[in-house]
């Protein structure tokens, strides 16, 4: 699929500042860090969750546990897409029961990924509360899913894609809006 | 009257290899010479073709009486004619077994009615081929058998083989044995070897054949009787035949086209590669090629063993043994033996004519007064064999879709052209 | 790039990459066995036919559980109950199953080549759960996973396979798999069950009729079952077998101190294996069972989806 870059949404500096702000929001709206844990959705939700946990750790001096979640087995489109995608592992080495969880992902779009993530979490136990933190909300929800913590809201068309690039996965920090080339 | 002109006549009995015409009158050959002419004769132009004495297949299964789903005498003989054969010897393992004169006569009559190739039945050696008592061999001889065999199985014991061989010697009949040691072969579905290990299939060691062949050859020596080893497939058995011939014992043998063409390495989970004796190792196959060239092997025989498609379309170890063979025999002989220079064309003709005839105690030659049985073939005609186009009722062959250079082009039996490509 | 796989008929034709791919894919499913709620909706609406024409409890339950935990439904066919006994052909039995439209067939049969026979004729992915004396690919994969987990790598181990090699599909599949990973394999058993031709299965195979000699330096010892249900000869007296080939603690000491003991099950304690060895610290039999579940889930996940992927896919966010 060929894409054409339309404009930059977030620079490296802006990403950094946004994550700072989100980290503070999370702690504030959670009434502290007790019971709090972050779950990064593979792939790019994982480095985002780790960065948030480090930041939170920096100003609260508490270690927030971070788990990684692979949603492949919970996707709702497996019967239609042909060969099944490779499964990655889910690594959540703390108990999920009674926890105050924040799912972290890079882009919120239709909501189907988050629906799958919630299913995955509930297979592991019964969290007390689950909220969502995303770097970019691009609209076009197909399910009743909302993020409690949003970095940036962007209006997009169906033809456009929000590409989040992170140092850990892509070698640079940048969020761009791209369009499918015809 | 039939005049076959311009063909290359190959007659092993007289060592003739020349362009000659053959004139047939009624059921006999009238004249052989250059530039013959005859008024009112049907002329067949055999230019570019080879004219040989009528081919004989010493070993086939026509499945009638009792197994007509797989083949009938009518369909089988039509397939044999397409294969260039003028006479076939059908084995007695029908239902009921051909162990008495009435069944023999039935077969002979059905063959006459079919009006195609000659059918010379082989009668059972033991009653019901059960390996206990002798069958009614003299009665069957009067009804038309040319040999005895318990084919499908070996003659059960050395003692019985001795009795059969002595009895048949007095009657002037050869004993044809399917050489197999039942205890070694039990449960086996292919040749024991690296391929059987790889495929996870129970194997039959080569020694199953050679041990039984050794037994039979010694009994031939003991009794002076005529032994013919059916579908020989191993070096071990061939060595027994060689040694016996050296001693002057009356031992002959035949090899099938699939045994000189394929090996156990060709076997896969495809029941078209399952037959008994199974496809042999490369070393054994190469020994057969030597035997075909040096005269130790007397004849090529097809062991045409039709099985209707439903019976073969099962798991490998449940499938019956056997493949068809009439329509590919000559082509395989040309492509696998003559074209690569392993034997001469004349030798190939021997293996289909004088060789089998000698086993049966007959003559086969193109000479005035002889029966007008002739096989006309091309050693270059390009064609592809398709099982669905075969005249046989069955399709069990590993050669479906194989391309050949050389084929039977016309078959003449008793002066009539019964097949013309 | 992993070559697409439609059926799993055997290990012989798989590449190292394909094997490694499935072992890696088994990992998330290993973790999954530890979840409190072992039920996914991944294969919901899919049906897996379990066509077991040979008695089997463990493998059938393992595949059935794997399918169920993935959310699939199963159709179970057991030879004793089936019309196969009444003379129905394999083709008819399988066509009957096919008419009920399963999304894949897991098959065990006493005829070598039977799953290949079915795969050629039906348009449904076929997984071989053991065919005659030919292959048992999922067993070899779970054995490999067990070795890799315990030893951290699959490469270059000294492996001794002990027992009735000739009639063992487990032995063949393991020989194929481990040879692809550089194992030095020694086959050991009574002479009638260890013909010279088995050496042609893979390069560098050694044979030995002496258990003590075969165990020297072994990193992995695979003990095979003595198959009393498979009619073959000779029926060696049990006492002879125990005397010469039972894996006793004393014999196990000849192998490396950290050698693994694997057994495909079911074990006959006191026949091919001493109970102390079966239950000892080197025995991996329980992990083999758990890994069997994980491997089978990974295989069903990929094959029921319509062939393993050519390239790792990325998800739509």
CATH code, B260:
3.20.20.140
Render pLDDT for B5-63 as a digit per residue (tens, 0 to 9): 999 999 999 999 999 999 999 999 999 999 999 988 999 999 999 999 999 999 999 99
Residue B398 within a domain: yes
* Residue C61 near chain A (CB below 8 Å): no
Q: Is B216 marked active-site?
A: no
Q: Quick one: tokens of C232?
A: 């073959």
Disruptive mutation site among C43, C315, C316 for chain A (greatest number of A CBs within 10 Å): C315
Q: Which chains does B contact via 3+ CB–CB distances below 8 A?
A: C
Q: What is the dihedral of CA B184, B187, B192, B196, to 10 degrees?
A: -170
Of the candidates B240, B226, B212, B262, the one whose C-alpha atom is nearest the C-alpha of residue B360 is: B226
- Domains along the sequence of chain C with CATH: 16-136+292-304 (3.40.50.1370), 137-288 (3.40.50.1370)
Render pLDDT for B80-120 as a digit per residue (tens, 0 to 9): 999 999 999 999 999 999 999 999 999 999 999 999 999 99
- Chain-chain contact of B316 with C135 (C-beta, under 8 angstroms): no
B65/B11 same-domain check = no
B130/B19 same-domain check = no
Distance between CA B153 and CA B124 in Å, rounded? 11
Of the candidates C141, C219, C226, C155, the one whose C-alpha atom is nearest the C-alpha of residue C186 is: C219
Render pLDDT for C204-260 as a digit per residue (tens, 0 to 9): 999 999 999 999 999 999 999 987 655 456 778 889 999 999 999 999 999 999 999
Render pLDDT for B123-179 as a digit per residue (tens, 0 to 9): 999 999 999 999 999 999 999 999 999 999 999 999 999 999 999 999 999 999 999
Per-residue pLDDT of chain A (182 residues; tens, 9 = 90+): 788 999 999 999 999 999 999 999 999 999 989 999 999 999 999 999 999 999 999 999 999 999 999 999 999 888 888 788 899 989 999 999 999 999 999 999 999 999 999 999 999 999 999 999 999 999 999 999 999 999 999 999 989 999 999 999 999 999 999 998 87
Decide if C129 contacts C138 (C-beta within 8 A).
yes
Distance between CA C58 and CA C297 in Å, rounded? 15
Decide if C316 contacts C19 (C-beta within 8 A).
no
Nearest to C42 among A73, A82, A83 (CB): A73
Residues of B with CB below 8 A from C91's CB? 313-314
Query: Pick the residue with more confidence: C53 or A149?
Result: A149
pLDDT band, very low/low/confident/very high, at C307 (cuts 50, 70, 90): low
Residue C15 has pLDDT above 60, yes or no: yes
Q: What is the pLDDT of residue C232?
A: 56
B63/B14 same-domain check = no
Shortest CA distance from C313: residue in chain A: A85
- Average pLDDT, stretch B60-89? 97
The residues of C annotated with a catalytic role in the active site are 58-59, 86, 108, 136
* Residue C33 near chain B (CB below 8 Å): no
- Chain-chain contact of C305 with A83 (C-beta, under 8 angstroms): yes
Q: What is the pLDDT of residue C98?
A: 82
The domain that holds B26 is classified in CATH as 2.30.40.10
* Residue B182 near chain C (CB below 8 Å): no
Measure C129 CA to nearest chain A CA, in Å.
Answer: 22
pLDDT band, very low/low/confident/very high, at C308 (cuts 50, 70, 90): low
Disruptive mutation site among A83, A109, A134, A141 for chain C (greatest number of C CBs within 10 Å): A83
Q: Parallel, antiparallel, or unpaired: how do β-strands C158-162 and C104-109 relate?
A: unpaired
Residues of A with CB below 8 A from C18's CB? none
Shortest CA distance from A71: residue in chain C: C315
Render pLDDT for C61-114 as a digit per residue (tens, 0 to 9): 999 999 999 999 999 887 655 555 566 788 888 788 888 889 999 999 999 999
Q: What is the pLDDT of residue C317?
A: 36
Q: Which percentage of chain C shows pLDDT scores above 90?
A: 75
B19/B7 same-domain check = yes
Q: Which domain holds residue B41?
A: 2-50+371-420
Of the candidates B28, B19, B9, B44, the one whose C-alpha atom is nearest the C-alpha of residue B417 is: B44
Render pLDDT for B238-263 as a digit per residue (tens, 0 to 9): 999 999 999 999 999 999 999 999 99
- Average pLDDT, stretch B385-406? 97
Residue C311 has pLDDT above 50, yes or no: no
Residue B199 within a domain: yes
- Chain-chain contact of A83 with C27 (C-beta, under 8 angstroms): no
B185/B233 same-domain check = yes
Nearest to B315 among C117, C197, C200 (CB): C117
B97/B137 same-domain check = yes
Decide if C119 contacts C107 (C-beta within 8 A).
no
Residues of A with CB below 8 A from C25's CB? 86-87
Distance between CA A154 and CA A139 in Å, rounded? 7
* Residue B198 near chain C (CB below 8 Å): yes
Shortest CA distance from C176: residue in chain B: B198
Render pLDDT for B304-348 as a digit per residue (tens, 0 to 9): 999 999 999 999 999 999 999 999 999 999 999 999 999 999 999
Q: What is the pLDDT of residue C315?
A: 39
Q: What is the pLDDT of residue C226?
A: 87
Query: Taking an 8 Å Cβ-Cβ cutoff, which residues of chain A contact chain C?
Result: 43, 70-75, 77-79, 81-91, 105-107, 109, 113, 119, 122-125
Residues of C with CB below 8 A from A86's CB? 25, 309, 312-313
B75/B31 same-domain check = no
Disruptive mutation site among B188, B203, B273, B315 for chain C (greatest number of C CBs within 10 Å): B315
B172/B67 same-domain check = yes
- Chain-chain contact of C200 with B198 (C-beta, under 8 angstroms): yes
Q: Which chains does A contact via 3+ CB–CB distances below 8 A?
A: C
Residue B366 within a domain: no
Residue C310 has pLDDT above 70, yes or no: no
State the total domains in chain B. Answer: 2
pTM of the model: 0.90
- Average pLDDT, stretch B369-377? 97
B73/B128 same-domain check = yes
Measure C203 CA to nearest chain B CA, in Å.
Answer: 13
Distance between CA A27 and CA C131 in Å, rounded? 59
B45/B104 same-domain check = no
Helices (H) and strands (E) in chain A, counts: 4, 8
B181/B324 same-domain check = yes
Decide if B22 contacts B34 (C-beta within 8 A).
no
Distance between CA A20 and CA A32 in Å, rounded? 16
Q: Parallel, antiparallel, or unpaired: how do β-strands B227-229 and B175-177 relate?
A: parallel
Q: Which CA distances in Å does B136 have to B148, B150, B162, B168?
A: 10, 13, 16, 11
Complex-level ipTM:
0.88
- Domains along the sequence of chain A with CATH: 11-157 (3.40.50.2020)
Residue B365 within a domain: no
| R_g over Cα of chain B | 20
B60/B46 same-domain check = no
Disruptive mutation site among B183, B193, B200, B201 for chain C (greatest number of C CBs within 10 Å): B200
Decide if B119 contacts B86 (C-beta within 8 A).
no
Decide if A36 contacts A100 (C-beta within 8 A).
yes
pLDDT band, very low/low/confident/very high, at C54 (cuts 50, 70, 90): confident
């Amino acid at each position: 699929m060929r894409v054409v870059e339309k404009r930059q949404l977030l620079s490296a500096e802006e990403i950094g500042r946004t994550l700072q702000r989100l980290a503070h929001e999370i702690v504030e709206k959670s009434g502290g860090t007790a019971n709090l844990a972050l779950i990064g959705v593979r792939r790019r939700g994982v480095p985002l969750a780790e960065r948030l946990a480090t930041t939170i750790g920096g100003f609260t001096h508490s270690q927030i546990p971070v788990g990684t979640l692979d949603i492949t087995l919970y996707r709702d489109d497996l019967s239609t897409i042909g060969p099944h995608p490779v499964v990655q592992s889910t690594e959540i080495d703390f108990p999920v029961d009674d926890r105050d969880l924040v799912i972290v992902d890079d882009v919120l779009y239709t909501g189907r990924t988050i629906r799958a993530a919630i299913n995955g979490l509930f297979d592991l136990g019964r969290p007390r509360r689950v909220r969502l933190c995303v770097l970019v909300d691009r609209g076009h929800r197909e399910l009743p899913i909302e993020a409690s913590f949003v970095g940036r809201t962007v209006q997009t068309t169906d033809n456009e894609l929000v590409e989040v690039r992170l140092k850990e996965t892509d070698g640079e920090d940048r969020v761009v809006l791209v369009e499918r080339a015809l | 009257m039939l005049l076959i002109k311009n063909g290359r006549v190959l007659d092993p009995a007289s060592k003739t290899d020349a362009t000659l015409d053959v004139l047939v009158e009624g059921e006999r050959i009238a004249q052989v010479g250059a530039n013959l002419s005859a008024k009112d004769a049907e002329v067949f132009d055999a230019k570019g073709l080879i004219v040989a004495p009528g081919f004989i297949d010493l070993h086939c299964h026509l499945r009638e009486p009792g197994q007509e789903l797989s083949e009938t005498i009518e369909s089988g003989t039509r397939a044999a004619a397409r294969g260039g054969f003028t006479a076939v010897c059908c084995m007695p393992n029908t239902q009921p077994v051909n162990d008495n004169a009435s069944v023999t006569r039935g077969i002979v009559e059905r063959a006459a009615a079919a009006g195609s190739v000659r059918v010379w039945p082989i009668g059972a050696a033991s009653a019901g081929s059960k390996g206990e008592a002798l069958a009614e061999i003299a009665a069957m001889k009067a009804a038309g058998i040319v040999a005895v065999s318990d084919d499908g199985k070996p003659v059960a014991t050395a003692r019985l083989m001795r009795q059969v061989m002595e009895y048949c010697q007095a009657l002037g009949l050869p004993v044809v044995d399917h050489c197999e040691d039942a205890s070694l072969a039990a449960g086996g579905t292919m040749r024991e070897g690296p391929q059987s290990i790889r495929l996870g299939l129970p194997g039959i060691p080569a020694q199953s054949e050679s041990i039984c062949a050794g037994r039979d050859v010694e009994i031939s020596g003991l009794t002076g009787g005529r032994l013919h080893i059916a579908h020989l497939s191993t070096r071990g058995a061939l060595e027994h035949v060689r040694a016996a011939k050296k001693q002057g014992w009356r031992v002959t043998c035949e090899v099938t086209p699939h045994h000189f063409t394929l090996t156990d390495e060709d076997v896969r989970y495809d029941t078209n590669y399952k037959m008994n004796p199974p496809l042999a190792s490369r070393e054994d196959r190469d020994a057969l090629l030597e035997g075909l060239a040096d005269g130790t092997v007397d004849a090529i025989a097809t062991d045409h063993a039709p099985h209707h498609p439903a019976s073969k379309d099962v798991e490998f170890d449940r499938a019956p043994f056997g493949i068809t063979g009439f329509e590919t025999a000559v082509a395989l002989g040309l492509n696998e033996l003559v074209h690569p220079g392993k034997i001469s064309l004349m030798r190939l003709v021997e293996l289909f004519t004088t060789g089998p005839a000698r086993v049966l105690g007959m003559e086969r030659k193109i000479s005035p007064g002889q029966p007008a049985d002739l096989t006309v073939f091309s050693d270059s005609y390009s064609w592809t064999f398709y099982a669905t186009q075969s005249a046989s009722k069955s399709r069990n062959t590993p050669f479906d879709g194989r391309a050949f250079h050389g084929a039977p082009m016309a078959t003449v039996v008793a002066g009539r052209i019964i097949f013309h490509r | 790039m992993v070559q697409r796989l439609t059926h799993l008929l055997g290990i012989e034709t798989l590449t190292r990459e394909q094997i490694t791919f499935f072992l890696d894919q088994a990992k998330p499913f290993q973790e999954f066995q530890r979840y409190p709620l072992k039920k996914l909706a991944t294969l919901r609406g899919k049906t897996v036919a379990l066509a077991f024409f040979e008695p089997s409890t463990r493998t059938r339950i393992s595949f059935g559980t794997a399918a169920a935990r993935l959310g699939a439904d199963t159709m179970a066919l057991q030879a004793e109950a089936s019309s196969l006994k009444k003379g129905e052909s394999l083709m008819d039995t399988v066509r009957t199953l096919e008419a009920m439209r399963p999304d894949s067939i897991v098959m065990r049969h006493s005829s070598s080549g039977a799953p290949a026979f079915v795969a050629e004729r039906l348009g449904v992915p076929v997984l071989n759960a053991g065919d005659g004396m030919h292959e048992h690919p999922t067993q070899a994969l779970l054995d490999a996973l067990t070795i890799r987990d315990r030893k951290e790598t699959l490469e270059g181990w000294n492996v001794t396979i002990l027992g009735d090699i000739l009639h063992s599909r487990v032995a063949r599949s393991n020989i194929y798999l481990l040879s692809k990973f550089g194992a030095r394999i020694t086959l050991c058993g009574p002479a009638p069950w260890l013909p010279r031709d088995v050496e042609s299965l893979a390069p560098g195979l050694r044979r030995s009729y002496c258990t003590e000699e075969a165990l020297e330096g072994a990193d992995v010892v695979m003990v095979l079952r003595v198959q009393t249900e498979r009619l073959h000869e000779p029926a060696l007296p049990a006492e002879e077998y125990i005397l010469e080939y039972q894996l006793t603690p004393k014999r196990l000491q000849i192998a490396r101190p950290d050698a693994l003991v694997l057994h495909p099950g079911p074990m006959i304690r006191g026949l091919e294996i001493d109970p102390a060895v079966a239950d000892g610290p080197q025995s991996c039999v329980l992990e083999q069972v758990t890994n069997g579940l994980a491997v089978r889930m990974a295989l069903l996940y990929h094959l029921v989806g319509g062939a393993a992927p050519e390239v790792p896919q990325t998800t739509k966010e």
